[in-house]
A and B are shown apart, each in its own frame.
Chain A
């Protein structure tokens, strides 16, 4: 099992969350996190951040562009 420092754990969070760590490395990540409050807090904040990024407002194409594209799509059938 790999032994993690706090600095190494912080760099591996995205790989951990994507389940991209090899099993012994993943086990080392979890073993460190289990006994390090600071790293657990940092991982939690990373998760909060990811959720927050996913919460961006919706956007639409401008009506003019959308109309033009719908009309191009209709046109396609006739050619």
Chain B
């Protein structure tokens, strides 16, 4: 989870001066450091890998054209991702893939299945009906490659906004402030989307561990 320790890039003023001075090494570093996050966010909006690659390419072309005018009102990363999101949205309109975001989401329901808990009446109100099953994996231990693959697939099937938020926060290590700025959403909304996405992946891991459990 090295991503949470930051992406190892120099401070923004150094990055911006280097880009303005035509420092190819710095540009290449940004391309490579943000490639995964940018491709994954782009894929949440458009229908094919090729389109997602073009969205990322068009984003960088726009960045190249605009770097001299960058005013530093946001971080470079947030600025680049804002351009990416806008480029991807325009592209998805062209692909007619756009639905009102609300149509994708179930923002008001709880992330966990309410039938897991006792109803509000009685002594056990709100308590677990059945204890969550134990997982064979301690927190610090890496999951099997198979489980990692499953998580990748699960992320790809999440509703788009949940997918973007969990990708930026938990895969790419962005802060909640950065995600709010990139997606132009409130802190509360960001947290709801992230929680739902994590709960969906947790449920998937629960089923996975139940299916691979060795008889004792």
**Using a CB–CB distance below 8 Å, which chain A residues touch chain B?**
5-8, 10-11, 13-15, 18, 20, 37-39, 41-42, 44-62, 65-66, 68-70, 72-74, 76-77
Contacts and interface: CB of A to CB of B under 8 A. Distances in A.
Interface of B: 1, 3-4, 22, 24, 27-28, 31-32, 35-36, 39-40, 53, 56-57, 60-61, 64-65, 110-112, 114, 116-117, 125-128, 131-132, 134-135, 137, 139, 142-143, 147-148, 151-152, 155, 166, 170-171, 173, 176, 187, 191, 194-195, 198, 201-202, 205-206
Contacts of A14: 191, 194-195, 198
A14 B4 CA distance: 16
A60 B22 CA distance: 22
B36 A56 contact: yes
B53 A6 contact: no
Given A14-B198, A48-B205, A53-B155, A42 B132 contact: yes
Determine the main DSSP class of A at the interface with B: helix
B201 A65 contact: no
Contact of B28 (A6, A7, A70): A70
Contacts, number: 142
Given A6-B128, A56-B152, A65-B56, A46 B202 contact: yes
A58 to B, nearest CB: 6
Contact of B128 (A38, A44, A59): A38
Nearest to B36: A59
B112 A73 contact: no
Nearest to B23: A73
A45 B132 contact: yes
